[in-house]
Amino acid sequence: MKAIVYEKYGPPEVLKLKEIPTPTAKDNELLIEVRATTVTSGDARMRALNVPRGFGLLSRLALGIFAPRRQILGMELSGVVVAVGKNVTRFQVGNPVFGMSDAYGGCYVEYRALPETEAIAKKPENLTFEEAASLCFGGTTALDFFRRGKLRSGERLLVNGASGAVGTAAVQLAKHLGAHVTGVCSTANLDLVRSLGADAVIDYTKEDFTRNGEVYDAIMDTAGTAPFSRCQVSLKPGGRFLLVLGGLSDTLGSSWVNMTTDKKVVAGVAKVRPEDVRLLGELAEAGKYKPVIDRTYPLEQIVEAHAYVDEGHKKGNVVITVGHGALV
Ligand SMILES: NC(=O)c1ccc[n+]([C@@H]2O[C@H](COP(=O)([O-])OP(=O)(O)OC[C@H]3O[C@@H](n4cnc5c(N)ncnc54)[C@H](OP(=O)(O)O)[C@@H]3O)[C@@H](O)[C@H]2O)c1
């Protein structure tokens, strides 16, 4: 089968199209014919080993000191089940599915085998394969931070970086949870963020939200431009700071903030829960959550897709179609 392989860290050109053996489904696995996958900010970071400040050594230990240990990126997928192991009970051959592999990827392929207990669910019927492939990365991140940050109905949330994959999911899911949402983005993305349900939008090129006197119950930073030190003035007493993107010192400093102030910093890597993936599918099917797709590229143009994501200004998600392309 075709796969996109990277044998060294570096620019998008390290991604090479190769032929590798097609996997088979073990007893507890589904074999999925992949129709679409995505280029997440996480894939681009792992490819280039471009990680937040202070995480360089830890990342090399996790991913491979001199070269990537696992050489196929891609965290999200959608596709059709083409084989099931003998112990699989929840899925059958022919089921359209979507979901997430573990954080190290493996979805830039034509066929992916995954245990049925992983974060895989039936594809919402009203979504294309491209849309279904884009449900999870931003969605599971937002749900995990909202859960750990105890976001409640009626609370005021500000999302900094509201137009990215995490931001566009966070705005929609926070509205679904009943929060009042303010989205911070650049001028070109104000209408997009409003269309996702944001109650208010702030253009970061014109206004600094930490200086307008507004206060929030929770602030989520997905852009890395609003650390706790800068936005604590905008948090109410008891407010929570959701540090989706921060350096090692911000992450380590969170314990100090939590011990010494009346505010709380929620940091760390978001956990992907199979039940959250199922919830995202249900919300999408009910029309309450729709992934934003910026651009779509075929697998053969993965280098161009990564180069675009490297620019750091994608709107929502960048999708890769695989094989016969996305058929509904
Ligand atoms: N902790 C975790 O578990 C976890 C999970 C997922 C992602 N992440 C990290 O979170 C970050 C965001 O992920 P993503 O997938 O959403 O990235 P993304 O899709 O690339 O989006 C980044 C967004 O940041 C916005 N932005 C850039 N400069 C900004 C500024 N000064 N103020 C406000 N917004 C600004 C960009 O919008 P404009 O074009 O309008 O500038 C862009 O839409 C990534 O660095 C990723 O590594 C962490």
* Domain boundaries of the chain, sorted by first residue: 2-135+291-321, 140-266
Whether residue 168 contacts residue 292, with contact meaning beta carbons closer than 8 Å, is answered with: yes
What residue type is assigned to position 228 of the chain?
A: F
- pLDDT of residue 324 exceeding 70, the answer is no
Between the CA of 224 and the centroid of ligand 1 the distance, in Å, is 7
Between the CA of 250 and the centroid of ligand 1 the distance, in Å, is 16
What residue type is assigned to position 45 of the chain?
A: R
Whether residue 63 contacts residue 2, with contact meaning beta carbons closer than 8 Å, is answered with: no
Whether residue 251 contacts residue 188, with contact meaning beta carbons closer than 8 Å, is answered with: no
Between the CA of 149 and the centroid of ligand 1 the distance, in Å, is 19
pLDDT tier, 153 (very low <50, low <70, confident <90, very high otherwise): very high
Between the CA of 138 and the centroid of ligand 1 the distance, in Å, is 10
Atom of ligand 1 nearest to the CA of 223: 24
Q: How far apart are CA 180 and CA 155, in angstroms?
A: 6
For domain 2-135+291-321, the question of CATH label 3.90.180.10 is answered with: yes
Q: How far is CA 100 from CA 38, 76, 179, 252, 313, in A?
A: 10, 4, 27, 28, 23
Q: How many helices (H) and strands (E) does the chain have?
A: 10, 15
The model's pTM is 0.96
Tell me if 2-135+291-321 shares its fold with 140-266: no
In tens, the pLDDT along 176-190 reads 999 999 999 999 999
In tens, the pLDDT along 244-266 reads 999 898 888 888 989 999 999 99
pLDDT at 253: 87
Between the CA of 270 and the centroid of ligand 1 the distance, in Å, is 14
Which residues, 6+ apart, have CB-to-CB distance to 256 below 8 Å?
A: none
Choose the residue to mutate in 166, 248, 295 for probing ligand 1, maximizing ligand atoms within 8 Å of C-beta: 166
Q: How far apart are CA 53 and CA 217, in angstroms?
A: 27
Atom of ligand 1 nearest to the CA of 42: 47
Kindly report the average pLDDT of the chain as a whole number.
95
In tens, the pLDDT along 17-65 reads 999 999 999 999 999 999 999 999 999 999 999 998 999 999 999 999 9
Class of domain 140-266: alpha beta
In tens, the pLDDT along 182-224 reads 999 999 999 999 999 999 999 999 999 999 999 999 999 999 9
